[in-house]
Structure 1
Amino acid sequence: MQQWRKFNGEIIPRPIEEEIKQALMKERDAGNKMRVCIGTDSQVKNRRVEFATVIVFVREGKGGFMYIRNETVQRKMPVKQRMLEEVQRSIDAAYSLCQLFIAFNVEMEIHADINTNPNFKSNTALKEAMGYIWGMGFAFKAKPHAFASSSCADKMVH
């Protein structure tokens, strides 16, 4: 089981699907309209790449909350591969939760930390990432509109 935690550092002791279902029921009962944004960012240190995936819940007009998972891999990888691995991690999280979001009528989008400006290295992965995300049936946002990956996940990578 992959280790998810809350923003305050509290470890989620049960499967993330159960945690999210409880959170969605609580938010629905409180009358909150929600949307969810899933994104991943990474940072390279020597031959290590650390990924941080976030599931960000935005309450309409009332702030939000998020869940975080960090993973480290011990290998060197080119920028394009790293960008696509970020997208893969976001899709994995989205795919495992999408039936819940459908059941609770929660809008979901995947945020990719990929720049739409061709002058940036990450742009080399833009077309493949968009095709992959749309091909899986998910909504897609890239920089500068991808706050889940470029702001939230970015702060969670050590």
Structure 2
Amino acid sequence: MIDLKFEKIKKFISETSKETSIYIGSDSKQYRDSTIFVTAVVIHIDSCRGAKIFYSFKKERKINSLRERLMKEVDLSVYTALNLLDCIDGRKLEIHLDLNPNENHKSNIVVRDAIGYVLSQGLKPVLKPNSIAAFSVADYLLKHL
């Protein structure tokens, strides 16, 4: 699905303290004939000392449906989190969603579905403006391809 080096990320996480937080988020960008997704894993060392970022890009056919594209972002983040669960070992883990809880924003169309999906996997969803791994880190990476 995505080309993150899970073993490398797990090794890094296992060498951090239990106070470390892990934030996972995805974002996407439309091009004429494709959609590019980026998934970022932000490891916030001791939850106060800076961070290490791992990321992966994925190119797919163009996804015209906003709902489908946003849910694909959520799915990529959940997939990544589930592949890292065995090394979390009590550390804080959040799935950062690039979705706005305000109904005036287009991304709001999938908020309920996305939250339900993330919660059903036993994970904690975080929306804008607190979802920095998605709307800040992943967005930055997309803009600097």
Aligned mates of 2:88, 2:82 — CA distance in 1: 10
Selected match of 1:136 from 121, 129, 133: 121
Aligned to 2:111: 126
What's the offset of the Cα at 1:22? Answer: 1.9
User: Secondary structure of the equivalent of 2:35?
Assistant: strand
Aligned mates of 1:3, 1:43 — CA distance in 2: 18
- The question of 1:114 aligning with 2:103 is answered no
Aligned mates of 2:119, 2:59 — CA distance in 1: 27
- The question of 1:47 aligning with 2:36 is answered no
Higher fraction of strand: 1
Q: What RMSD over aligned residues (CA atoms) do the two structures have, in Å?
A: 1.5
Q: Which runs of 5+ in 2 are unaligned?
A: none
Selected match of 1:20 from 6, 9, 29: 9
What's the offset of the Cα at 1:75? Answer: 2.5
Aligned mates of 2:79, 2:107 — CA distance in 1: 20
Aligned mates of 1:143, 1:130 — CA distance in 2: 12
Aligned mates of 2:121, 2:14 — CA distance in 1: 26
The C-alpha deviation readout for 1:115-135, integer Å capped at 9, x for no partner, is 111111110010100000001
Aligned mates of 2:39, 2:62 — CA distance in 1: 18
Identity %: 27
The C-alpha deviation readout for 1:39-95, integer Å capped at 9, x for no partner, is 000000112110000010112221111100000101232111111000000000001
Q: TM-score, normalised by structure 2?
A: 0.91
Q: Which runs of 5+ in 1 are unaligned?
A: 5-14
For 1:27, give the aligned amino acid.
T
Aligned mates of 2:106, 2:2 — CA distance in 1: 30
For 1:75, give the aligned amino acid.
K
For 2:56, give the aligned amino acid.
R
In the alignment of these two chains, the number of paired residues is 142
Selected match of 1:56 from 36, 42, 52: 42
Do 2:25 and 2:40's aligned partners in 1 also have CA atoms closer than 8 Å? yes
Do 2:40 and 2:55's aligned partners in 1 also have CA atoms closer than 8 Å? yes
- The question of 1:81 aligning with 2:47 is answered no
Aligned mates of 1:51, 1:153 — CA distance in 2: 9
Larger Rg: 1 or 2?
1
What's the offset of the Cα at 1:100? Answer: 1.1
What's the offset of the Cα at 1:33? Answer: 2.3
